[in-house]
Every structure is written in C-alpha cells, then in structure tokens.
Amino acid sequence: MSHTERLPRNRTYLMCPPEHFTVEYAINPWMDTTVPVDPALALKQWHLLRDTLSDLGHAVHVLDPAPGLPDMVYAANGAFSVDGKVYGARFRHPQRAAEADAHRLFYAGGSWTYADPLHINEGEGDFAYLPGAYGGLILAGYGFRTDPAAHAEAQEVLGRPVVSLRLVDPAFYHLDTALAALDDRHITYYPEAFSPASQRVLAQLFPDAVIADRADAEAFALNLVSDGHHVVLNTEAMAMGEKVRAAGYTPVHVELSELKRGGGSVKCVVAELRP
C-alpha cells in the first residue's frame, strides 16, 4: 500500500442533529435507559463533528430531525446510495420505522432514483461501498439487523456485486461497528465480529487490511468516516488512530461520548451521499 494512494477525495454527507436524542428504549447492547442523556452535550459534539467534516472540505447536508424519533441522529441507517441510486431502509425495530420515511422524502427532493425495499435492512449500517475494489464492490452485513435477502435486493437495485458477511457478536450488531472503508480499495475490520467463513472471505479479498482488536471495536474505532486520507474517529479510538497512521492515513479525533450511549459513533451519525 503506497502512501501516494492516501489522497483525500471530496465527499458529500448527510447528518441529522440530535435535537430529540434520548435513550428511552434498548435495542442494542450499548443502550442503557437508566443513564440520562445530556442533550446539550450531544448537540455540541454533533456540531463539532459536522464542522470537522466541513473544515476538511466536504459538503454536509442536514436532515431535519423529527420528534419521537430519538435515533434519527444515526443518519447512516436511513438508506444506502451508489451512483445516484438509493436503496431505502426498512428498520428491524418498530421504534425506528418512521425514520425511513424521512429519508425517502429527502431523496425525493433531489435527482435520485429511489427504491423502496421489500426486505429488512438498515442502510449504511450494514452496507459499505468500495468503488475501487474489484470494479466496485459492496460489502454487506447480516445476522442481527439486516436480512440476507436484502443483499440480493440491493444488488439488483444498485447494479454492483454484493458480498454477504455474517456478524456473530451482538456487541457489533451492524457492519459499520466491525468494518470500515479507509479509501476506495482498502478496509479495516475486527475479524472476530464475523463468522469463520466470513473471516476467510475478508482475508482473501483484502489481504492488506488494517486489523483491529476487540479493544478497538469496543471503543467504536471501526465506526469511522474516511475521505481516503483523513480518518475521522472518536477520541476513545487512539490505538486505532495509530494503526491507521502507520498505514499512511491521518487520524482526526472527535469527541462523541454522548452519542455512543445510543450505540453509535462517527459513521453511524454520517451517511455518505454518492450521486
């Protein structure tokens, strides 16, 4: 992996402010309804992340939050877009179901081709796109939130090959808690979050991946956003920051401790728009 490849590419992102963010139910192992959320701190941390992405030269669109949808801040879960086509989300838990409608309305206001899903999937939470890998490859997770049938459906909608990966540890319930794209061809991942067969697939496809350990994964270090040069991680992920630095990237740390209470970090809060 030559460091000359570590060039940033301007991205377009979608975020939703945590104006209604609380932890009032538990649908993943990280959510604790007995610990109150500090809404002012959550909003401050969200603004810091948005400003960080803007300062790196990226465009950030904002989705209006809706009352009664406290997890809407995790904008990555609302859809998955590739080359102007959008595969919509269909949430596993009823508490989040209406989020899909808000995302659908956002895409309806642009020049997107939107497809309503038949199968349960949670957008970029369980899909990652690598346009420079094998001609354009989608990695897709299943086991907790997304049905395997959604992978075939996404392939038909988006016209890109989809590789199914089975998640086996409930602590890492979405693909984006266990794996991340560092640029258009390279990934980082925590092997033990995946089944043995999926580990073998990843090792074959990405022999030069940056390998994370459990401490990294539990710090939500894999829930990152990268523009191909700058890797934006939360401040707990210092060890992962050094690993990506050793691979030629530049880590950028942002405090997101309050939003972790809902089971998400940098990537969960940021959807990438790919016109």
Beta strands 59-62 and 79-82 are unpaired
186 is catalytic: no
CB count within 10 Å of CB 101 equals: 14
Quick check: is 174 catalytic?
yes
Give the whole-angstrom CA distance, residue 137 versus residue 187: 12
73 touches 262 (CB < 8 A): yes
26/262 Cα distance (integer angstroms): 8
Tell me phi and psi for residue 67, to 5 degrees. -60, 145
Which contacts of 209-214 are long-range, i.e. CB under 8 A and separated by 24 or more positions? 210/182, 210/186, 210/243, 210/244, 210/247, 212/188, 212/240, 212/243, 214/190
Catalytic residue among 58, 151, 230, 268: 268
List 174, 186, 229, 230, catalytic entry? 174
> Which positions are catalytic?
174, 268
